Protein backbone atom coordinates (compact mmCIF):
# COMPACT_ATOMS: atom_id res chain seq x y z
CA UNK A 1 0.00 0.00 0.00
CA UNK A 2 1.04 3.59 -0.60
CA UNK A 3 1.90 5.97 2.21
CA UNK A 4 -1.36 7.58 3.37
CA UNK A 5 0.07 11.09 3.66
CA UNK A 6 1.25 11.00 0.06
CA UNK A 7 -2.20 10.00 -1.23
CA UNK A 8 -3.52 12.61 -3.65
CA UNK A 9 -6.60 13.38 -1.57
CA UNK A 10 -4.54 13.91 1.61
CA UNK A 11 -2.16 16.22 -0.25
CA UNK A 12 -5.17 18.15 -1.58
CA UNK A 13 -6.39 18.65 1.99
CA UNK A 14 -2.96 19.84 3.07
CA UNK A 15 -2.68 22.24 0.14
CA UNK A 16 -6.14 23.77 0.47
CA UNK A 17 -5.97 24.25 4.25
CA UNK A 18 -2.51 25.85 3.86
CA UNK A 19 -3.86 28.24 1.23
CA UNK A 20 -6.92 29.12 3.29
CA UNK A 21 -4.69 29.94 6.26
CA UNK A 22 -2.31 31.93 4.04
CA UNK A 23 -5.19 34.06 2.77
CA UNK A 24 -6.37 34.81 6.31
CA UNK A 25 -9.65 32.94 5.92
CA UNK A 26 -9.00 30.49 8.74
CA UNK A 27 -7.40 32.09 11.75
CA UNK A 28 -6.55 29.89 14.74
CA UNK A 29 -8.81 26.82 14.47
CA UNK A 30 -11.46 28.60 12.38
CA UNK A 31 -12.81 26.77 9.36
CA UNK A 32 -13.23 23.16 8.32
CA UNK A 33 -13.16 21.00 5.20
CA UNK A 34 -14.68 17.60 4.36
CA UNK A 35 -14.05 15.51 1.25
CA UNK A 36 -16.24 12.59 0.13
CA UNK A 37 -14.00 9.77 -1.11
CA UNK A 38 -14.57 6.64 -3.16
CA UNK A 39 -13.81 3.38 -1.38
CA UNK A 40 -11.14 2.47 -3.95
CA UNK A 41 -9.26 5.71 -3.19
CA UNK A 42 -9.12 4.78 0.47
CA UNK A 43 -8.39 1.08 -0.16
CA UNK A 44 -5.27 2.02 -2.13
CA UNK A 45 -3.65 3.36 1.04
CA UNK A 46 -5.54 1.72 3.95
CA UNK A 47 -7.06 -1.57 5.00
CA UNK A 48 -10.71 -0.50 5.13
CA UNK A 49 -11.46 -3.41 7.48
CA UNK A 50 -9.15 -1.98 10.14
CA UNK A 51 -11.20 0.39 12.32
CA UNK A 52 -9.09 2.30 14.86
CA UNK A 53 -11.99 3.57 16.95
CA UNK A 54 -15.65 4.42 16.68
CA UNK A 55 -17.11 7.83 17.50
CA UNK A 56 -20.75 8.67 18.11
CA UNK A 57 -22.51 10.91 15.62
CA UNK A 58 -25.25 13.13 17.02
CA UNK A 59 -27.59 12.96 14.04
CA UNK A 60 -28.88 10.41 11.58
CA UNK A 61 -26.40 10.17 8.69
CA UNK A 62 -27.82 6.89 7.37
CA UNK A 63 -28.12 8.45 3.89
CA UNK A 64 -24.31 8.39 3.87
CA UNK A 65 -23.91 4.94 5.46
CA UNK A 66 -20.81 3.20 4.16
CA UNK A 67 -19.42 6.37 2.55
CA UNK A 68 -15.85 7.48 3.20
CA UNK A 69 -14.60 10.95 4.10
CA UNK A 70 -11.48 12.83 5.05
CA UNK A 71 -12.10 15.88 7.24
CA UNK A 72 -10.28 18.41 9.38
CA UNK A 73 -10.20 17.96 13.14
CA UNK A 74 -11.83 19.83 16.00
CA UNK A 75 -9.69 22.62 17.41
CA UNK A 76 -6.96 22.09 14.81
CA UNK A 77 -5.13 25.08 13.38
CA UNK A 78 -4.93 25.09 9.58
CA UNK A 79 -1.35 26.35 9.82
CA UNK A 80 -0.41 23.00 11.40
CA UNK A 81 -2.09 20.64 8.92
CA UNK A 82 0.99 20.36 6.68
CA UNK A 83 3.33 19.55 9.56
CA UNK A 84 0.94 17.33 11.58
CA UNK A 85 -1.51 15.83 9.06
CA UNK A 86 -2.20 12.63 11.00
CA UNK A 87 -3.37 14.65 14.00
CA UNK A 88 -5.19 17.44 12.16
CA UNK A 89 -6.95 15.20 9.61
CA UNK A 90 -8.90 11.95 9.79
CA UNK A 91 -10.22 9.39 7.32
CA UNK A 92 -13.43 7.68 8.39
CA UNK A 93 -16.47 5.76 7.22
CA UNK A 94 -20.07 6.39 8.22
CA UNK A 95 -21.30 3.31 10.11
CA UNK A 96 -24.16 1.20 8.77
CA UNK A 97 -26.66 2.63 11.24
CA UNK A 98 -25.66 6.21 10.37
CA UNK A 99 -25.09 7.13 14.02
CA UNK A 100 -21.32 6.63 14.29
CA UNK A 101 -18.02 7.22 12.51
CA UNK A 102 -15.50 4.43 12.00
CA UNK A 103 -12.04 5.98 12.10
CA UNK A 104 -9.58 4.39 9.67
CA UNK A 105 -6.65 6.83 9.90
CA UNK A 106 -5.63 10.06 11.59
CA UNK A 107 -7.12 12.11 14.44
CA UNK A 108 -4.16 11.00 16.52
CA UNK A 109 -3.64 11.98 20.17
CA UNK A 110 -7.36 11.48 20.82
CA UNK A 111 -8.36 14.14 18.28
CA UNK A 112 -11.84 14.13 16.82
CA UNK A 113 -13.62 15.54 13.74
CA UNK A 114 -14.57 19.19 13.44
CA UNK A 115 -17.52 20.23 15.59
CA UNK A 116 -19.17 21.35 12.34
CA UNK A 117 -19.17 17.78 10.96
CA UNK A 118 -22.97 17.42 11.26
CA UNK A 119 -23.37 20.60 9.17
CA UNK A 120 -20.92 19.19 6.63
CA UNK A 121 -22.65 15.83 6.37
CA UNK A 122 -26.07 17.45 6.11
CA UNK A 123 -24.73 19.64 3.30
CA UNK A 124 -23.19 16.63 1.54
CA UNK A 125 -26.59 14.89 1.68
CA UNK A 126 -28.32 17.98 0.30
CA UNK A 127 -25.84 18.55 -2.51
CA UNK A 128 -25.76 14.88 -3.53
CA UNK A 129 -29.54 14.98 -3.89
CA UNK A 130 -29.17 17.61 -6.65
CA UNK A 131 -25.62 16.89 -7.85
CA UNK A 132 -24.38 13.29 -7.51
CA UNK A 133 -20.86 14.47 -8.39
CA UNK A 134 -20.52 16.75 -5.38
CA UNK A 135 -17.52 15.83 -3.19
CA UNK A 136 -16.41 18.86 -1.17
CA UNK A 137 -17.88 20.99 1.60
CA UNK A 138 -15.69 23.87 2.77
CA UNK A 139 -16.26 26.42 5.52
CA UNK A 140 -14.09 29.47 6.16
CA UNK A 141 -14.13 33.04 7.46
CA UNK A 142 -13.48 34.81 4.15
CA UNK A 143 -12.65 38.32 5.32
CA UNK A 144 -14.51 40.63 2.95
CA UNK A 145 -17.59 38.44 2.63
CA UNK A 146 -17.76 38.39 6.42
CA UNK A 147 -17.43 42.19 6.52
CA UNK A 148 -20.23 42.60 3.97
CA UNK A 149 -22.67 40.86 6.30
CA UNK A 150 -22.39 43.83 8.67
CA UNK A 151 -22.99 46.57 6.09
CA UNK A 152 -25.00 45.07 3.22
CA UNK A 153 -28.56 43.82 2.91
CA UNK A 154 -28.68 40.10 3.69
CA UNK A 155 -31.56 39.52 1.27
CA UNK A 156 -30.25 36.84 -1.08
CA UNK A 157 -31.16 38.70 -4.26
CA UNK A 158 -29.50 41.90 -3.04
CA UNK A 159 -26.35 40.15 -1.85
CA UNK A 160 -26.04 38.11 -5.03
CA UNK A 161 -26.60 41.07 -7.36
CA UNK A 162 -23.88 43.09 -5.66
CA UNK A 163 -21.37 40.26 -6.05
CA UNK A 164 -22.36 39.71 -9.70
CA UNK A 165 -21.86 43.43 -10.37
CA UNK A 166 -18.42 43.65 -8.77
CA UNK A 167 -16.56 41.20 -11.05
CA UNK A 168 -17.54 40.09 -14.54
CA UNK A 169 -16.64 36.46 -13.74
CA UNK A 170 -19.04 36.12 -10.81
CA UNK A 171 -22.22 35.49 -12.81
CA UNK A 172 -20.38 32.84 -14.81
CA UNK A 173 -18.92 31.13 -11.74
CA UNK A 174 -22.06 31.11 -9.56
CA UNK A 175 -25.10 31.86 -11.76
CA UNK A 176 -27.39 30.26 -9.17
CA UNK A 177 -26.43 33.05 -6.76
CA UNK A 178 -25.58 33.04 -3.06
CA UNK A 179 -27.83 31.99 -0.17
CA UNK A 180 -27.90 33.47 3.33
CA UNK A 181 -29.22 32.19 6.64
CA UNK A 182 -29.92 34.01 9.92
CA UNK A 183 -27.19 34.09 12.56
CA UNK A 184 -27.28 30.76 14.40
CA UNK A 185 -25.07 29.09 17.00
CA UNK A 186 -22.31 27.16 15.18
CA UNK A 187 -21.87 23.43 15.70
CA UNK A 188 -25.61 22.84 16.16
CA UNK A 189 -28.08 20.75 14.20
CA UNK A 190 -30.11 23.93 13.66
CA UNK A 191 -27.37 25.66 11.66
CA UNK A 192 -26.60 22.43 9.81
CA UNK A 193 -30.22 21.97 8.77
CA UNK A 194 -30.57 25.62 7.70
CA UNK A 195 -27.38 25.43 5.63
CA UNK A 196 -28.31 22.11 4.03
CA UNK A 197 -31.73 23.44 3.02
CA UNK A 198 -30.04 26.30 1.16
CA UNK A 199 -27.43 23.99 -0.38
CA UNK A 200 -30.14 22.41 -2.54
CA UNK A 201 -30.37 25.69 -4.48
CA UNK A 202 -26.88 27.21 -4.26
CA UNK A 203 -23.31 26.08 -3.69
CA UNK A 204 -22.52 29.11 -1.52
CA UNK A 205 -24.25 29.82 1.79
CA UNK A 206 -23.31 32.91 3.81
CA UNK A 207 -23.34 32.66 7.59
CA UNK A 208 -23.81 36.29 8.75
CA UNK A 209 -21.12 37.64 11.08
CA UNK A 210 -19.31 34.29 10.82
CA UNK A 211 -18.25 33.13 7.35
CA UNK A 212 -19.31 31.11 4.34
CA UNK A 213 -19.99 27.52 3.28
CA UNK A 214 -19.09 26.35 -0.22
CA UNK A 215 -19.48 23.05 -2.02
CA UNK A 216 -18.31 21.56 -5.29
CA UNK A 217 -17.22 18.59 -7.36
CA UNK A 218 -13.56 18.88 -6.44
CA UNK A 219 -11.19 20.93 -4.33
CA UNK A 220 -10.26 23.42 -7.06
CA UNK A 221 -13.88 24.14 -7.97
CA UNK A 222 -14.91 24.70 -4.35
CA UNK A 223 -11.91 26.81 -3.39
CA UNK A 224 -12.25 28.81 -6.61
CA UNK A 225 -15.95 29.38 -5.94
CA UNK A 226 -15.27 30.92 -2.53
CA UNK A 227 -12.22 32.75 -3.88
CA UNK A 228 -14.29 34.39 -6.63
CA UNK A 229 -17.05 35.51 -4.26
CA UNK A 230 -14.46 36.79 -1.79
CA UNK A 231 -12.71 38.80 -4.53
CA UNK A 232 -16.03 40.42 -5.45
CA UNK A 233 -16.63 41.25 -1.77
CA UNK A 234 -13.16 42.78 -1.61
CA UNK A 235 -13.93 44.97 -4.64
CA UNK A 236 -17.19 46.01 -3.00
CA UNK A 237 -15.29 46.95 0.18
CA UNK A 238 -12.78 49.01 -1.80
CA UNK A 239 -15.44 50.81 -3.83
CA UNK A 240 -17.35 51.69 -0.65
CA UNK A 241 -14.14 53.06 0.87
CA UNK A 242 -13.57 55.12 -2.28
CA UNK A 243 -16.95 56.82 -1.99
CA UNK A 244 -19.41 54.24 -3.25
CA UNK A 245 -20.39 52.79 -6.61
CA UNK A 246 -20.80 55.36 -9.41
CA UNK A 247 -21.29 52.86 -12.24
CA UNK A 248 -21.43 49.08 -12.55
CA UNK A 249 -22.34 46.20 -14.87
CA UNK A 250 -25.94 46.67 -16.03
CA UNK A 251 -28.58 43.96 -16.01
CA UNK A 252 -28.56 44.06 -19.81
CA UNK A 253 -24.81 43.41 -19.73
CA UNK A 254 -25.30 40.55 -17.28
CA UNK A 255 -27.96 38.99 -19.53
CA UNK A 256 -25.55 39.26 -22.46
CA UNK A 257 -22.77 37.74 -20.36
CA UNK A 258 -24.96 34.81 -19.36
CA UNK A 259 -25.89 34.17 -22.98
CA UNK A 260 -22.25 34.30 -24.09
CA UNK A 261 -21.15 31.78 -21.46
CA UNK A 262 -24.28 29.59 -21.65
CA UNK A 263 -25.28 29.97 -18.01
CA UNK A 264 -28.72 30.64 -16.57
CA UNK A 265 -28.94 33.35 -13.88
CA UNK A 266 -31.13 32.65 -10.85
CA UNK A 267 -34.71 33.40 -11.88
CA UNK A 268 -35.89 36.83 -10.82
CA UNK A 269 -32.44 38.13 -9.91
CA UNK A 270 -31.99 40.25 -13.04
CA UNK A 271 -34.41 42.91 -14.24
- Which residues carry out catalysis? 116
Edge-to-edge strand ranges of the sheet holding 53-56 = 53-56, 100-106, 89-94, 68-72, 32-37, 136-140, 211-216, 204-207, 179-180
d(CA 168, CA 149): 21
Q: Is 269 in contact with 255 (CB distance < 8 Å)?
A: no
Question: Is the sign of the CA dihedral 209, 214, 92, 107 positive or negative?
Answer: negative
Q: Which residues are annotated as a binding site for Zn(2+)?
A: 139, 141, 210
Q: What is the DSSP string of the chain?
A: ---GGGSHHHHHHHHHHHHHHHTTSS-TT--EEEEEE-HHHHHTTS-TT---EEEE-SS--GGGTT-EEEEEBTT--GGGTTT-HHHHEEEEEE-TTSSEEEEEEE-TTT--B-TTHHHHHHHHHHHHHH-TT--EEEEE--HHHHHHHHHS---HHHHHHHHHHH-THHHHH-TT--EE-----TTSHHHHHHHHHHHTT-SEEEETTTEEEEEESSHHHHHHHHHHHHHHHHHHHHHHHTTS-S----HHHHHHHHHHHT--PPTTS--
Q: Which residues are annotated as a binding site?
A: 139, 141, 210
Amino acid sequence: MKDVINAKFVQEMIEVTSNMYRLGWDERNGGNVSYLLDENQVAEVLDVRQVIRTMKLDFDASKLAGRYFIATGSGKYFKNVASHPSECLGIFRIAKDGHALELLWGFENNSKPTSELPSHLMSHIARLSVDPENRIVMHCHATHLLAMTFTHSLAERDFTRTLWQMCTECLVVFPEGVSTIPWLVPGTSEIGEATAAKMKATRLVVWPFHGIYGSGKDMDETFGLIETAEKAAQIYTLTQAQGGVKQTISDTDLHNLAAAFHVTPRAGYLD
